[in-house]
Structure 1
Amino acid sequence: MKFNYTFISMLILLLIGSLGFAADANVSELVVSPDWSIAWQFVDNNIEFTLMAPTTGWVSIGFNPTKMMKDAEYVLGYVQDGKLVVRQDYGTGLFSHKPVVDLGRNQEITEISGTQDNSVTTLVFRLPLHWGKDSGIEFTKGQSFKVLLAYGKDGSRNFTAKHSKKKVVTVTL
């Protein structure tokens, strides 16, 4: 009888472990450096992003600029007093962006969470699969995007401080 309980217990643990693996199999990640990464997964009619960067300041991601920062759709965010603060911007010039609400649009971000662990900030948010009125971004599996990643200096908890690091990458969803 002890053999049966041990065997059944091991089988249950194996099944539970494989269920956890299956859930994580849908998450894709691009690591820029050990503390700087972007992860994404499709959830219902949204795409969920997790941005992590080595700063206590702001973190951002921009999609499909036409030149430099121009015409990209951005999500910028930081953690203030344990709460996530995010804003959606649009690239209005080569080196500039404005809040979409100032351009007569609605912000289309669902905030999930924001954390700071030591000197690493992590933002989690969802965007609709059809996002960004001006650029008409369609997030679909297998599609590639030019992505702008950046973060601000430690303590720069605002949307106006210049980035301390930036990186341009191509991401295939």
Structure 2
Amino acid sequence: MKKILFSLLLLLGLSSCMAKTQQQPGQINYNNVTVNWKATDQRIHFDLRAKTTGWIAIGLEPSFYMKNAKFVIGYFDPKTGKPVLSTEYGNGYTSHAKVAADQLLSDIKGSQKEGWTELSFSLPLSSAIANFNYSIKPGEKYKFLVAYGANGAKDLNSYHAFAEGTKVVLIPAKS
């Protein structure tokens, strides 16, 4: 009974989250996380910033909760001084699995300072890779999921400390 009640509350919470829209073109701000994006003719560039020393993730176009979302999840490794990113697929309502689509990622950058992690990367506007297939058209509305892990969380499967869903309009970059 407690599991059912928790699931219903989670469903209601995510439903109301999905109704939100971005506060300004190209940006979503929450208490401790910011996502910026810019679409060009061929790629979409994302900048993620969160108050964590763990992982950060963005999921594109989930069908229900995490199901069918195309995730890019990663963290900054202070030992190597480099970001570690992974492409993942929402294979369940509350789970994801690795997808062989890392070759789509480019312009990868990252940093960590004073408890904040920043990750940047770009993706092509479309992909036909199995379980990572999508097509983004600037000017149209899409569902995003944004999440981050607890401080120090480098396990890309650990539970999130924060998660939010929203609908955004992807604004093309100005020439």
> Which TM class, normalised by the smaller chain length?
0.7 to 0.9
Larger relative contact order (Cα-Cα within 8 Å, sequence gap ≥ 6): 2
Q: What whole-Å deviation, never above 9, does each CA across 1:64-98 have from its counterpart, x for those lacking one?
A: 11111111100001000221100000011111110
Q: Matched residues in 1 for 2:108 and 2:94: separation?
A: 29
8 Å CA contact retained: 1:145, 1:171: yes
1:119-138 matches, within 5 Å, as 119-131=115-127, 133=129, 134=131, 136-138=133-135
Q: 1:150 aligns with which of 134, 138, 147?
A: 147
Work out whether 1:32 is the aligned partner of 2:34: no
Q: Which amino acid aligns with 2:163?
A: K
How high is the sequence identity, in percent, across the aligned residues?
A: 34
Q: Which runs of 5+ in 1 are unaligned?
A: 1-26
Q: What whole-Å deviation, never above 9, does each CA across 1:112-153 have from its counterpart, x for those lacking one?
A: 201112111110000001036335322221111111100000
Aligned residues: 143
Q: What does residue 45 of structure 2 align with?
A: 48
Q: Matched residues in 2 for 1:29 and 1:98: separation?
A: 27
Q: Which runs of 5+ in 2 are unaligned?
A: 1-24, 171-175
TM-score normalised over the length of structure 1: 0.77
* Runs of 4+ residues over 4 Å off in structure 1: none
Structure with bigger gyration radius: 1
8 Å CA contact retained: 1:88, 1:107: no
TM-score normalised over the length of structure 2: 0.76
Bigger helix share: 1
